[in-house]
Structure 1
Amino acid sequence: MTDELKVKVRLDMYGFIGAGNMVSAIAMGGFKSGFLTSTNCLFTDKSGQRAPQLAAVLEAGYVADNRVLASQCDVIVLGVKPPVVLEVLQELSDILQAERPLVISLAAGISLADLEVAAGAQVPVIRFMPNVNASLGLSMTALCAGTYATAEHVELATEFAGTFGECVEIAESFMPVFTALAGSSPAWIFEMIDAFAMAGVKHGLSKAVATQIVAQAFSGSASLVLDGLASQSATPNNLIDQVCSPGGTTIAGLLALRAGGAGTAIADAVAACIAQDEKLGARR
C-alpha cells in the first residue's frame, strides 16, 4: 500500500449499520487506535436507540436511515442479525451499485455469493468474523474476500481488523470452522473458567479469588502457546510435557480430565457450531 493510499484510508467515511455488542467492540478498537475518528464515522440502527448512544460515546455521527448512511460512506459494516442481512443489502442495492463502497458483513452463515447478489453487480464485499475479545483489542478475526474486492480492499480491511486484535485471511469454506474455533469459543472458554473456579469454591476459595486465579492461568497459558508458535520452540503438547512431572499432581489431573471426555466434548461443541452455521445459511 502506498503512502498516498494510506492517507486516503484515513479520510474514508465508515458507516456501521447496527450497533450491537460486536459493532461496539470493533468500533471502540478502531477509535482507540485512531483508525476511526469522530469525523470519519457514522452509525445507524433499526431501533434508533443503541446507535445514537454509541455515536454519542464516541462523539461520532448518527443518522436515522440506512440509505442516508450508505450514500455517505466508503466502507459499510453490516452488524445486523444474519436473518436480515440480505434484506438490508437489497434495500440499499441501488446506492451500492452507484457508489460501490466496500461492504463488510459480520453475519455468520451468509455466504459471499449471497451477499454479492443482494448488494448488486460489482459491489466489493468482505466477510469479517471477529470475536468478543475485540472489546480489549484482543480479537482473533478472520476475513474472506468476494469476487470484486481488490487487494487494496483486503489490505484496508486487514488494517481495520488489526485495530482490535489479530487477523487472518482464509478461504470462505473454512469460515464455519473459524466461527467455532474463534467466534464462538470464548463462550466455551468462559464456561471452562467458571467450572474451574467453582471447583476452587468447592475446596474453600471465594468465587472471586478462584476466578482471578483461573483466568490468569488461562491468559498466561495462551501467551505461552502463542510465544511457542511464533518462535517455533514449542507446541501445546510440548508444553503439557513440561508441566507434567512423573508421578505428579498435574498428570493425575490431566488423566482424569481426559477420562471425563474433555477432548470429545470440545470436538462435539465445534461440530455443533459448524452445523448451526450451516443452518443459518440455509434459512436465508
Structure 2
Amino acid sequence: MKKIAFIGAGAMAESLVKGILTAEQLPAEAIWLTNHANDERLEEMHHAYGVSVTRNQTDLLIDADVILLSMKPKDAEAAMAYLKESNLKPDQIIVSMLAGIPTSFLEEHLPEGQPVVRVMPNTSATILEAATAIAAGVHAGNREMQVVHELFHTVGAVVQVKEEDMDGVTAISGSGPAYLYYLMEALEEAGKQVGLEESVGKQLLIQTFIGAAKMLEQSELTPAQLRANITSAGGTTAAGISVLEEQGVKAAIQACVQAAAARSKEMGQAYTK
C-alpha cells in the first residue's frame, strides 16, 4: 500500500492515523485527509501528524489504494455522490466505517465491481487496543480483505465476519466498551459505599479488569469456569453472585445486547430496499 485517503477526519480517523504511523505502514505524507467543511480540524491533523490534507478531490483520491469513509452516517449519500464522480479505479478499495450502513447500499452508488469492505472498530482504537470486525462486500476478495486486515491490525485485534453478523458485532464490541464502563461506574460507586478511597478503588478496579481480561485471553477456560473457580460455597464471591442472580443481572445484560443489535439492524434497514 502506497497511499490511503480518508473522507472524514474525526476521532476514529485520527486513531487509525496514529496506528498506521506507529506501525510504520506508511509515511505521514502518504496519508491524505479531507472532511466536509472543518478546515481547522484538517490543519490540526496536519500539524499533529504531518499528514497531507486537501480540499482537492483529485489530489485526495488519485493513486489511493484505500479510500476510507470515516464521516458520520448521515453524510453517506453525499460521500457516495462525491466518489461516483471521481473516476475511481477498479482496484481502489472502499472501506466503510459507517455504522449500520450495509455494503449493498454503497455498492449501488459506486461504479460496478468496486470492492467495498465494511469495518466496525470500537473506541479502544484511540489507545491502539481496538476490537475490529471486517466484512467483505460482493466484490471484495482475499487481496482486499488482507489489505484491510493489515490496516486495522495497527489499532488492535481484527476478526473477519459475515456481514449479516455485523449487527451482533455492533452490539458486543462496538457498544461493549460502554457496557463495561457502566459496570465500572457501578463498582466504583460501590467501592466508595464500602469505605474505599476513590484513588484506591479506581486502581484496584482497573487492575481487576485488566487481570480478568488477560486470564480469559491466556486460559482455555470459559468465563463460567473462571467464575466458578473463585466462587467458593458460602464465601464472599458466592454472596455477591447470589445477589446478581436474584436481581437478574445476566438477563439484563443479554437484553441490553439484543436491544443494541435490534437498533443496529433497524438503522441498516433505512439503507436497504
Please, what TM-score do these two structures have when normalized by structure 1? 0.90
Q: What RMSD, in angstroms, separates the aligned Cα atoms of the two structures? A: 1.6
Corresponding residue SS for 1:142: strand
In the TM superposition, 1:228-267 aligns within 5 A as 228=219, 233-267=220-254
The match for 1:38 among 14, 24, 28 is 28
| Secondary structure of residue in 2 paired with 1:39 | helix
Aligned length: 270
Match of 2:260 in 1: 273
For 1:206, the equivalent position in structure 2 comes to 197
Give the alignment partner of residue 75 of structure 1, picking from 43, 66, 69. 66
* Identity among equivalent pairs (%): 29
Q: Output the TM-score relative to the length of structure 2.
A: 0.93
Change (3 A) 1:264 1:195: same
* Structure 2 residue matching 1:87: 3-state secondary structure: helix
**1:96/1:240 Cα in 2 relative to 1: closer, same or farther (>3 Å)?**
farther
Partner of 1:13: 3
1:133, 1:100 → 2: CA distance?
A: 30
Instruction: Give structure 2 stretches of 5+ with no counterpart.
Output: none
What is the rounded CA distance, in whole Å, between the counterparts of 2:138 and 2:20 in structure 1?
Answer: 26
3-state SS in 2 of match to 1:204: coil
1:150 aligns with 2:141: yes
Deviation of 1:208 (Å): 3.1
Q: Give me the whole-angstrom Cα distance separating, in 1, the residues matched to 2:199 and 2:12.
A: 27
Of residues 170, 185, 189, the one that matches 1:179 is 170
Query: Residue 36 of structure 1 aligns to a residue in which SS?
Result: coil
- Decide which moves more: 137-146 or 22-31: 22-31
In the alignment, what sits opposite 2:15?
25
Amino acid at match of 1:181: I
CA shift, 1:106, in A, is: 0.3
Q: Which deviates further from its counterpart, 21-30 or 135-144?
A: 21-30
Q: Deviations over 1:236-273 (max 9, x none)?
A: 11111111112100011011112112111211111121
**Counterpart position of 2:188:** 197
Compared CA separation, residues 211 and 66, structure 1 to 2 (3 A): farther
Q: Structure 1 73/153 Cα, relative in aligned 2: closer, same or farther at 3 Å?
A: same
CA contact (8 A) 1:97 1:122 kept: no
* Aligned-residue offset at 1:70: 2.2
Structure 2: distance between partners of 1:183 and 1:67: 33
CA distance in structure 1 between the aligned counterparts of 2:169 and 2:87, rounded to whole angstroms: 28
Query: What is the rounded CA distance, in whole Å, between the counterparts of 2:57 and 2:225 in structure 1?
Result: 51
Unpaired segments ≥5 residues, structure 1: 1-8
CA contact (8 A) 2:90 2:115 kept: no
CA shift at 1:146, angstroms? Answer: 1.2
**Greater share of helix:** 1
2:128 to 120, 123, 137: 137
Q: Which moved more, 1:60-69 or 1:256-265?
A: 60-69
Aligned CA distance change for structure 1 residues 96 and 178 (closer, same or farther; 3 Å): farther
